[in-house]
Amino acid sequence: MKKTLISLSTALLLLSSSAFAYADSVLDPDQNVYVNEDVLETVSSVNLDYVLDKALKDSHNLSMLALKYAAQGSKKDDLEQQMEGMGSASFAPGHLPSTPEEVTNTGNPQLPNLTDPIGIAWTVMQNNAMNQMMQGMGALAGGMNKIISSQRAQMNTAAHQLGTDQRNSLLQSDEAKAGIRLQTIAQYVQLLGQKKQLAFMNEYEGVMEKELIRATLLSQQGLASSEDVLTAQKAINKQKDDTAILLNNYRLGIVQLSTDIGISYDPNLVLQDIASISVQPIAETDTMTLLKSSYQMKSSGNNIDEAVWETVHTVTQNTYGDTYLGVNVAINGQKNEQMQLELTKKIQSTYNDAKNAYAAVLTEQRNLTDVQADLQKMKFRYEVGVISKHDLNKFQLKVSQNETTLAAAKLKYYVLNEKAKAMDTGFIQ
């Protein structure tokens, strides 16, 4: 009982602490939350061109890259202005007579030759102190000039690096545009494929319901067992479950697409088919040509040029600094070689996938042609009374299935062909 009371007290204490902590976080006067309420466009139908245009205009990633480029330019200009405003410490060297010989024979009309022994001794002592002070000031000015020169060199290096970063930011912006375009195409195509699949599944469900009615009638006449009726009912239930899952995924995709392009969500949004998908053999470009136009290889080239520039213009204090600069060039060169190998593999993989997709379209076109020819034979058999209307409808469903499969193959080909064509513009993924 004692242990129970202790545990209860501990639990109440923890609960009380949690409540106080929660209350403090809710009532924190310094806690700010920034949430924008976007004004969304309402549309009932979209096509791929519209979606691509909205995706590029409303891209937060592109906006961030534009801000990044502007910030780099401002910082670069700031450093360059600071360098222009940095002066140099100057001190005119001088020397006062500091020995008995010099004070008794100055050789300077403005400095009288001294003859009094006390004056000579006092002047020698005083001038020695002044000369030491002037030497110290000269050394101080020289040290300050070294520091200023080093700072100016560092700022020059930083400004040059920002210039290189700006060039890379422009490449990243162009690369991001190509990436957003391909991603949006893939997203739109996936939704189109799900839409077509849903249409086929609904058609299939209608045929299965007729199959259930037929099995029920046959069972009532003793021509089929109750097991046949139960099997048909289970098949319909499974079909409905699969359709419900696909419908939920499709609606989720519509929500995500609407959010990405800045339109209000409409579960009945009409996705228009892609106007025309011309199925042609994949046109391949030479790998070296693609590498030279690649955004990533251009960015890597900028980094190598920057590293080489720094080896000439960076002020180092010892051999270790020079060694670092040399190693940095080697590192960027090694990264460049590694990137070239990786991009080469991606190029080969992209072309291979695109060619496989093209071959799949040809296969599905042949399959559809075959099943359509079979359908004509089935219609003739129905007309002469060999098969029933029910059997003809079931075979018609097979044609619809092949049409859906061909449409899916064409959509996949379209995406991969666009990915292959994007490599010609510099985007390799």
Retrieve residue 401's tokens: 């299935």
* Residue pair 62/173 in contact by the 8 Å Cβ criterion: yes
C-alpha 242: how far from chain center: 34
CA of residue 297 relative to chain centroid, distance: 16
For residues 244 and 237, give the distance between their C-alpha atoms in angstroms, rounded to a whole number: 11
Per the model's pLDDT, the better-predicted residue between 3 and 217 turns out to be 217
CA neighbours within 13 Å on the CB side: how many for 417? 18
The span from the CA of 318 to the CA of 82, in Å, is 26
Q: How far is CA 36 from the centre of its chain?
A: 23
Percentage above 90 pLDDT, the chain: 42
- The overall average pLDDT reported for the chain is 83
Residue 91 has a pLDDT of: 52
Query: SS3 of 45, please?
Result: strand
Per-domain boundaries in the chain: 283-429
Is pLDDT of 197 > 80? Answer: yes
CATH fold for domain 283-429: Outer membrane efflux proteins (OEP) (1.20.1600)
Instruction: Classify residue 12 as left (phi > 0), alpha (psi -120 to 50) or beta.
Output: alpha
Q: Which residues contact 197 (CB under 8 A, 6 or more apart)?
A: 246, 404, 408
The residue that leads in pLDDT, 233 or 76, is 233
pLDDT per residue over 99-114, tens digit each? 777 667 766 666 677 6
Can you give the pLDDT at residue 20?
A: 47
Closest CA to 291 of 426, 99, 157: 426
Structure-token match 């720094």, residue found:
310
pLDDT surpassing 60 at residue 395: yes
| Statement: residue 25 has pLDDT above 70 | no
Phi, psi (deg, nearest 5) at residue 278: -85, 115
Each residue of 262-312: pLDDT tens digit? 889 999 999 999 988 899 999 999 999 999 999 999 999 999 998 998 888
**pLDDT per residue as tens digits for the range 227-236:** 888 988 999 9
Query: Residue 41: which pLDDT band, with cuts at 50, 70 and 90?
Result: confident
pLDDT computed for residue 1 by the predictor: 42
Query: Is residue 305 within 8 Å of 164, Cβ to Cβ?
Result: yes
- Between 23 and 126, where is the model more confident? 126
CB 166 within 8 A of CB 72: yes
More reliable by pLDDT, 213 or 251: 251
Task: Name the pLDDT band for 4 (thresholds 50, 70, 90).
Answer: very low
Task: Give the CA distances from residue 424 to residues 147, 174, 294, 369, in Å, rounded to whole numbers and listed in that order.
Answer: 50, 13, 8, 35
Instruction: Please list the alpha-helical segments (H only) found in 86-225.
Output: 100-104, 117-220
pLDDT band at 26 (very low <50, low <70, confident <90, very high): low
The arithmetic mean of pLDDT across residues 32-56, rounded, is 85
Tens of pLDDT along 126-182? 777 776 776 766 666 565 666 666 677 777 788 888 888 889 889 999 999 999 999
Q: Which residues have C-beta within 8 Å of that of residue 48, sequence separation ≥ 6?
A: 185, 188, 272, 274
Residue 333 has pLDDT above 70, yes or no: yes
pLDDT score at 5: 43
| Count of C-beta atoms within a 10 Å radius of residue 37 | 5
Burial class from Cβ neighbours inside 10 Å (0-12, 13-18, 19+) for residue 116 reads exposed
pLDDT at 107: 67
Distances in whole angstroms, Cα of residue 390 to Cα of each of 58, 84, 215, 229, 352: 51, 89, 12, 16, 43
CA distance 175 to 61: 11
pLDDT of residue 3: 44
Residue 2 has pLDDT above 50, yes or no: no
Bigger pLDDT: 98 vs 154 = 154
